[in-house]
Amino acid sequence: MANMRLTKNEMPEQDPVLRAGNFDEVALGYTPEMAIDEAKRCLNCKNPACRTGCPVAVRIPEFIAKVAEGEFEAAYDIITSTNSLPAVCGRVCPQEKQCESKCVRGLKGESVGIGRLERFVADWHMAEQAKLEKVEVEVPASNGHRIAVVGSGPAGLTCAGDLRKMGYDVTIFEALHKSGGVLVYGIPQFRLPKEIVAKEIDNLKAMGVKIVNNAIIGKSETVDELFEDGFEAVFIGSGAGLPQFLHIPGENLLGVYTANELLTRVNLMKAYRDDYDTPIKHFHRVAVVGAGNVAMDAARVAKRLGAEHVYICYRRGRDELPARLEEVATSCPPVSKRSSMPRPRASSSTCSITRPASSRARTASSPALSCCARSWASPTRRAAALPSPCRAASGSWTWTPSSSPSAPAPTP
Partner 1 sequence: MYKVVTKRFLNDAKTICLFEIEAPLAARHAQAGQFVIFRLDEQGERVPVSVADWDREKGTVSVMVQAAGRTTKMLHTVEQGDYISDFVGPLGRATEMEGLKKVCVVGGGVGCAIAYPIAKEMHKRGIEVTFIGGFRSADIVILKDELKEASDKLIMCTDDGTYGEKGFTTVFLKQEIEANIAEGKPQFDRVIAIGPDIMMKFLADVTRPYGISTIISLDPIMVDGTGMCGGCRVIVGGETKFACVDGPDFDAHQVDFDSLLKRAAFYKDEQDRAAQHICKMTGGKRNG
List residues near partner 1 by CB under 8 A.
175-177, 185, 212-216, 219-221, 239, 241-243, 245, 251-252, 254, 257-258, 260-261, 264-265, 268-270, 275-279, 281, 365
Distance (Å, rounded) from C-alpha 372 to C-alpha 44?
50
For residue 197, count other CB atoms closer than 10 A to its CB: 25
N-term to C-term CA, the chain: 48
Q: Which is nearer to partner 1, 71 or 251 (CB)?
A: 251
Phi, psi for 10 (deg, rounded to 5): -65, 145
CB-count burial class (<10 Å; 0-12, 13-18, 19+) for 79 = buried
DSSP string computed for 108-175: SSPPP-HHHHHHHHHHHHHHHHHHSSS-----PPP-S-EEEEE--SHHHHHHHHHHHHTT-EEEEE-S
Q: How far is the CB of 154 from partner 1 (least distance, A)?
A: 15
Q: How far is the CB of 207 from partner 1 (least distance, A)?
A: 24
Q: How far is the CB of 304 from partner 1 (least distance, A)?
A: 18
Q: How far is the CB of 232 from partner 1 (least distance, A)?
A: 21
Q: Which is nearer to partner 1, 177 or 362 (CB)?
A: 177
Give me the count of residues in the chain.
412
Q: How far is the CB of 214 from partner 1 (least distance, A)?
A: 4
For residue 37, count other CB atoms closer than 10 A to its CB: 16
Q: Which is nearer to partner 1, 120 or 231 (CB)?
A: 231
Where are the alpha helices (H) located in 208-292, listed in sequence order? Answer: 223-228, 259-263
CB-count burial class (<10 Å; 0-12, 13-18, 19+) for 398 = middle
CB-count burial class (<10 Å; 0-12, 13-18, 19+) for 393 = exposed
Q: Which is nearer to partner 1, 31 or 222 (CB)?
A: 222
Q: How far is the CB of 32 from partner 1 (least distance, A)?
A: 35
Phi, psi for 121 (deg, rounded to 5): -60, -45
Distance (Å, rounded) from C-alpha 157 to C-alpha 151?
8
Q: Which is nearer to partner 1, 5 or 355 (CB)?
A: 355
Q: How far is the CB of 52 from partner 1 (least distance, A)?
A: 33
Q: How far is the CB of 226 from partner 1 (least distance, A)?
A: 12
Q: Which is nearer to partner 1, 264 or 293 (CB)?
A: 264
Distance (Å, rounded) from C-alpha 361 to C-alpha 367?
9
Q: Which is nearer to partner 1, 213 or 378 (CB)?
A: 213
Q: Which is nearer to partner 1, 34 or 271 (CB)?
A: 271
* Long-range contacts, 380-388 (Cβ 8 Å, 24+): 382/316, 382/317, 382/319, 382/320, 383/316, 383/319, 383/320, 387/315, 387/316, 387/341, 387/343
Q: Which is nearer to partner 1, 5 or 205 (CB)?
A: 205
Pairing of strands 368-372, 387-389: unpaired
CA distances from 189 to 12, 30, 91 (A): 17, 19, 12
Q: Which is nearer to partner 1, 177 or 337 (CB)?
A: 177
CA distances from 348 to 253, 340, 407 (A): 18, 19, 18
Q: How far is the CB of 363 from partner 1 (least distance, A)?
A: 10
Q: How far is the CB of 298 from partner 1 (least distance, A)?
A: 13
